[in-house]
Structure 1
Amino acid sequence: MTTRLLGRCARLLGARCPRASSAGTRLPPALAPAEPAWVQCVRLRPQVRALCERRSLFKEEEIAQPPKRTELDELVEKASSPQEILQLWDDHSGSANQAAITLIQLVKLAVEKGESDRANLLEDHRFQDMVELVSSQVATVWNGTLVSVLRALSLLGVPSGAPVLRSLQTEALWRVRRFTYRQLAYLAEWGTSRGGPQAEALLNGVVKQLELRWTELADARTASLLMARAGHRYPSLMDKLEDKALELAEGFSAEDIRRVAMSLASQGRRSVPLMRALSYHIQQKPSAELKTPLLLDLAFAYGKLNFHQSQVFQRIASELLPRREELTPSDVTRCAKSFAYLKWLHLPLFESFVEHYLENEQNYRVPQLCNLLLSLARLNFQPSKADEFYSKVHAALEGALLGLEPYLQTDVVWSLCVLQQAKPQYLKNVLDPAFQRKLTDDKPSRTESYRLKLLHITATAQLEKLCPPETSSSPTSPVPAPSRESRPTPLQTSLHEALQSLVGGRVEAYRTGVDTVYGWTIDGELVVDAENKPIDLQALVAPHLPGGGGASPLPQGARRIAFLAGEFPNYSTRSKELLGRFAMQRRHLQLAGFLTVEVPYFEWLELKSDWQRVAYLKDKMGKVVAEEMAK
């Protein structure tokens, strides 16, 4: 570095004194001043290329030129069958690079033509000649051709331990720094589907180069392919690819957007900026690019990531509505399930799904019907042709429900309870203790979830009188009441404080966080007299409590009031309608003798002071009591 700096200084000094460098005006040696030693050293040093100079250090003839096209190359491109290519090679032969190109074209035609007898093709002596030539002179094969022939031979079914593949992989590992970024991406895509230590070593080297040179990535398709094929194995690479995808999102095609969204969903990477960019650009695509499988994959990706973008969902629904005839039962159930996870109910689209089932019920398998029922129950959707629809559903489930896996059977019966379509024979089997003993899982969270569902099914049997008294008289017998371990939300906390102010601080006049025998939790409970004034409830009989409460009966004219905090997740995304689970909770509590006061988050958040909240609760209490009296 010091020598280079001195050389540049010397050139600058010479430029500032033009006469000193002129041959005509140079002083005689005797009269010229003595030069410093460092100037003499620099003058003897060969000229170096400045960093800013574009001129190459190599001579033009030293740069490798692409091989000239021969007659064989042209004939191979025009060939129409693998046998024709083999004959052309037998007639003309060529270099190792030409052999590799011929092999690539051979595999391409074999795949296009659906060549079934690939074993004979691999044993053909002409094919073996090309393979041996490539293996023995692999150093002369060009980079792009090397990557392509490696992928082509694997696609044709050449064994991973074959000498030619080992030779190609070793050469690729030696050249890994000389490949372009796109060639590295192709190698990474190939390596993720291969096995063996040699392929793994090549893949690790390729991924290391991809991470080091990620700023070279400038192709949208390459970015999407890398995210889909290699990103799941290398999180550090995926971080860089997400940044690049956000930069290149404008150039993504609809297929690229699908590929990126699916790769994010499969890895559970909820990249909000990238998903927003994808949502914007998918909105700009014409309908011709939005094929049905692509729309279904997008719905699945958004549902898996729980990423809400109403404009995208509306676009997907509007595109799918006129395509009902081309949808399969699997498409319908998959899309319905995705939107159910997103809590997004599009009434015309779900009506279309129900119509599809009515028209194609014979094509639906029982698991697909079960998934459709679970989606409808989650969104609390009741179709316009409910009688016709449920009559066919019951006919399909009549002989198949008992044969389902225990967890799925419990989910289906619970969903029918939500939709108010459960039949006694469905409940009877699920309420059998022998059946409930099958619901054991290593995950405590899953076991607790199904315990709650069993309590809800028991409450349905008892409160809606769907089973004989001896079957449903004891809702606590199947499973114990759930334990309340979660912390209250801010909405629940402020509701508890408002109830405390409403009763004047008397702890015996209200309850909060009440776990009932029905599997539901009441956020707040009051008992009011005939004048709507809270009274002490600790000593009163409480059939909804596991212990039964006190011994005193409910006074004449008194009413039980249950306050239910309506959190944001309790409602459908597009409306203020409760989801199926919470609609069933309200129905069960009303059948248990409660007057329910719903406290939705979108109303409660507008109340800024404690007295406003107390006045709000009093007003809601007065309305539900008046409605009860009007009945």
Structure 2
Amino acid sequence: MASRLVGRCVRLLSWSSPQAAARLPPAAAGPAEVLRSKGWLWDTQRFLCEKTGIKDEPYPTTPPHTQLDELLDKAAAPEDVLCAWAEHGGSGNQAAAALVRWTQLMLKTRGEFEGHDPEQQMDARLQDMMRSMSRQVSAVWNGNLVNVLRTLWVMKVPSTDAALGSVQTEVLWRLRRLTYKHLGHLVDWGAARRAPRDVALVSAALKQLELRWTEIADAKTVSVLIANGGHMSPTLMDRLEDKALELAESFSAEDIRKVCVSLAAQSRRSVPLLRAVSYHLLQKPSSEFTTPLILDLAFAYGKLNFNHSQVFQRMASELLPRVPELSPLDVMRCAKSLGFLKWLHFPLFEAFAEHYAANSQKYSTLQLCNLLMTFARLGFQPSAGDEFYNKVHVVMEEFLTGLEPFLQTDVVWSLCVLQQAKPHHLTRLIQQNHVDKLSEGSLAQVENYRLKLLHIAATLNLENPGSWDSARSPSIPPVLTSSSSVSDLRSSLREALQSLAGGGAGALRTGVDTMYGWTIDGEMVVDGYNKPVDLSTLKAPHLPGGGGTQNLPEGARR
């Protein structure tokens, strides 16, 4: 080791000053001359920081463009690719590129592959191409390797195929050397695959992305990965949301649509990210506000319960001129999404009502039901109500009784809110057999529908008193308000009412659950001199039990 070190030092000294080597002892100078004569044959003026090699012959980084490559670029039909390969042949990398090109042209000219077609894929030229690629798979470039894996998936090659197996194995070995874009493509293209080797490959790619997430630097990859968020770990999704927040300015309108729909599908309400993409969405030109984009964004915002008035105004103004061109399904989707957000744009909903009036025969019963429930949720009454509701009643008379009990209750309750319910609709729903059908389900659902039944019964009693025989009506249990739900404001209000009543027994009721479904915060009866009267003995038609037996005294007020 010492002699090597001395020899190298002598070489350096002899380069900088030839006389220095002469002054060294013979034992050190001798070997140095031999090394110099062997090592400095080409260039004696090379610096230590320079790479070794001949300057006049640089290492070729890109192979020359061959005639096969030119023919592949010019190919206009799948047969052109096969003929070019049969005539010229090529390396494994060129075979992969040719296979990708052949598949692209097949999809362009014939549409999707209808499964594994032996007659089509047993072509000798195609088989030779796949064998060449499989034999030299280690020489295939990373980009071509990922693309050819997708190509084999698109071709619906069976999982037992040797070429597919070799490509999968090579991709798995190269995962650490693939860029984050290649990994993103693997996750995007392979997320729906169910074969064990494909699932293992996608899982390995996701692990690499989780380790290398800081490398991601473009919005498209982020949007693609978030769109496949159902296959990712919560940790990676959190990091991708941070990346999306960082790159939100460079998102296209389509990227924003993908991100929002994916967040809605996963119920991930990331408010900072939604605010950021909403701000940048407003900067986009009208040409990017396509109808599918508006409908998907309305769904996403509605599902996530995220309100942004400026975005809604922009979407409504862009969609309003296109309403006559929408399908009934699109009208129902958009109206329902905005209804969940409690956001009412009068011109847009007027256009929805006009669309139904003009195309009522194209609407299914379910679509009409959703439209009615949305109008009721928003309290919207069309200006041309007679024309709209005449067509609604024609459909309801024919199909209302055939709806399942919960939907039937929702529709009739909506008609009550819109002041369009007819007595025979209401009496049918307060029959005991219908009430019993609504007692199935979760506690919250049962309480919700019990409240709607009370509202329906109250509408029938108050607006059509002669249509309801209280003696033969079923007993609908009231919806009780739990003490835990009493707010501070209600609690202080009840204390004030107690002090007003003077603390007399029976002079005040608080938290009164009525038979109409409403809860009264406080109830008193005062006589002609405004003095509290005992409530316990007085009749109370609003209570489920009817109260006491005495009528209200003359001059008294409840």
TM-score (structure 2 length as normaliser): 0.86
AA aligned to 1:126 is R
Check the 8 A contact 1:154/1:160 in 2, yes or no: no
Check the 8 A contact 2:113/2:155 in 1, yes or no: no
Question: Is 1:541 aligned to 2:533, yes or no?
Answer: no
Partner Cα separation in structure 1 for residue 302 and residue 415 of structure 2: 23
Check the 8 A contact 1:336/1:372 in 2, yes or no: yes
Q: Which moved more, 1:171-180 or 1:551-560?
A: 551-560
User: Counterpart in 2 of 1:421?
Assistant: 420
Q: Secondary structure at the match of 2:524?
A: strand
Check the 8 A contact 2:191/2:231 in 1, yes or no: no
1:145 deviates by: 0.6
Question: Is 1:480 aligned to 2:473, yes or no?
Answer: no
Partner Cα separation in structure 1 for residue 475 and residue 305 of structure 2: 34
User: Counterpart in 1 of 2:353?
Assistant: 354
1:319 deviates by: 1.0
AA aligned to 1:430 is L
User: Counterpart in 2 of 1:625?
Assistant: none
Distance 1:144 1:540, change over 3 A: same
Alignment of 1:160-309 (within 5 A): 160-231=159-230, 233-309=232-308
User: Counterpart in 1 of 2:514?
Assistant: 516
Q: Secondary structure at the match of 1:512?
A: strand
Partner Cα separation in structure 1 for residue 437 and residue 211 of structure 2: 53
Distance 1:169 1:504, change over 3 A: farther
User: Counterpart in 1 of 2:491?
Assistant: 493
1:552 deviates by: 3.2
User: Counterpart in 1 of 2:92?
Assistant: 96
Q: Secondary structure at the match of 2:512?
A: strand
User: Counterpart in 2 of 1:78?
Assistant: 74
Distance 1:554 1:22, change over 3 A: farther
User: Counterpart in 1 of 2:334?
Assistant: 335
AA aligned to 2:312 is F
Distance 1:312 1:490, change over 3 A: farther
Check the 8 A contact 1:97/1:141 in 2, yes or no: yes
Partner Cα separation in structure 2 for residue 558 and residue 517 of structure 1: 23
Q: Secondary structure at the match of 2:198?
A: helix
User: Counterpart in 1 of 2:38?
Assistant: none
User: Counterpart in 1 of 2:140?
Assistant: 141
Check the 8 A contact 2:511/2:520 in 1, yes or no: yes
1:169 deviates by: 1.6
Q: Secondary structure at the match of 1:523?
A: strand
Query: What is the number of residues matched between the two proteins?
Result: 519
Q: Is there any run of 5+ residues in structure 1 with no aligned partner, and where? A: 1-6, 12-17, 31-52, 561-631
1:546 deviates by: 2.4
Distance 1:534 1:241, change over 3 A: farther
User: Counterpart in 1 of 2:370?
Assistant: 371
Check the 8 A contact 1:527/1:535 in 2, yes or no: yes
Partner Cα separation in structure 2 for residue 489 and residue 361 of structure 1: 45
Q: Secondary structure at the match of 2:437?
A: coil
Check the 8 A contact 1:539/1:552 in 2, yes or no: yes
Q: Which moved more, 1:375-384 or 1:165-174?
A: 165-174
Q: Which moved more, 1:420-429 or 1:259-268?
A: 420-429
Distance 1:190 1:283, change over 3 A: same
Check the 8 A contact 1:431/1:478 in 2, yes or no: no
Distance 1:211 1:458, change over 3 A: same
Partner Cα separation in structure 1 for residue 152 and residue 505 of structure 2: 79
Check the 8 A contact 1:231/1:237 in 2, yes or no: no
Distance 1:474 1:484, change over 3 A: farther
AA aligned to 2:389 is Y
Distance 1:433 1:299, change over 3 A: same
Distance 1:484 1:160, change over 3 A: farther
Check the 8 A contact 2:478/2:513 in 1, yes or no: yes
Check the 8 A contact 2:113/2:154 in 1, yes or no: no
Alignment of 1:455-604 (within 5 A): 455-465=454-464, 468-470=467-469, 473=471, 477-485=474-482, 486-506=484-504, 508-530=506-528, 534-560=532-558
Q: Secondary structure at the match of 2:419?
A: coil
User: Counterpart in 2 of 1:47?
Assistant: none
AA aligned to 2:187 is A
Q: Secondary structure at the match of 2:176?
A: coil
AA aligned to 2:284 is K
AA aligned to 1:144 is G
1:430 deviates by: 2.2
User: Counterpart in 2 of 1:155?
Assistant: 154
Check the 8 A contact 2:427/2:468 in 1, yes or no: no
Higher relative contact order (CA 8 A, sep 6+): 1
AA aligned to 1:309 is H
1:554 deviates by: 1.9
Partner Cα separation in structure 2 for residue 175 and residue 279 of structure 1: 39
1:28 deviates by: 7.3
1:510 deviates by: 2.9
Q: Secondary structure at the match of 1:527?
A: coil
Identity %: 56
Q: Secondary structure at the match of 1:113?
A: helix
Partner Cα separation in structure 2 for residue 268 and residue 59 of structure 1: 61
Distance 1:259 1:360, change over 3 A: same
Distance 1:539 1:199, change over 3 A: same
1:365 deviates by: 0.9
1:534 deviates by: 4.9
CA RMSD of the aligned region, Å?
2.9
Distance 1:548 1:429, change over 3 A: closer
AA aligned to 1:91 is E
Q: Is there any run of 5+ residues in structure 2 with no aligned partner, and where? A: 26-47
Distance 1:508 1:235, change over 3 A: same
AA aligned to 1:105 is R
Partner Cα separation in structure 1 for residue 112 and residue 326 of structure 2: 32
Distance 1:407 1:166, change over 3 A: farther
- Cα deviation digits, residues 107-149 of structure 1 (max 9, x gap): 1111122347752322322222222222232211111111111
Q: Secondary structure at the match of 1:518?
A: coil
Partner Cα separation in structure 1 for residue 223 and residue 539 of structure 2: 64
1:279 deviates by: 1.1
Distance 1:26 1:66, change over 3 A: closer
1:29 deviates by: 7.3
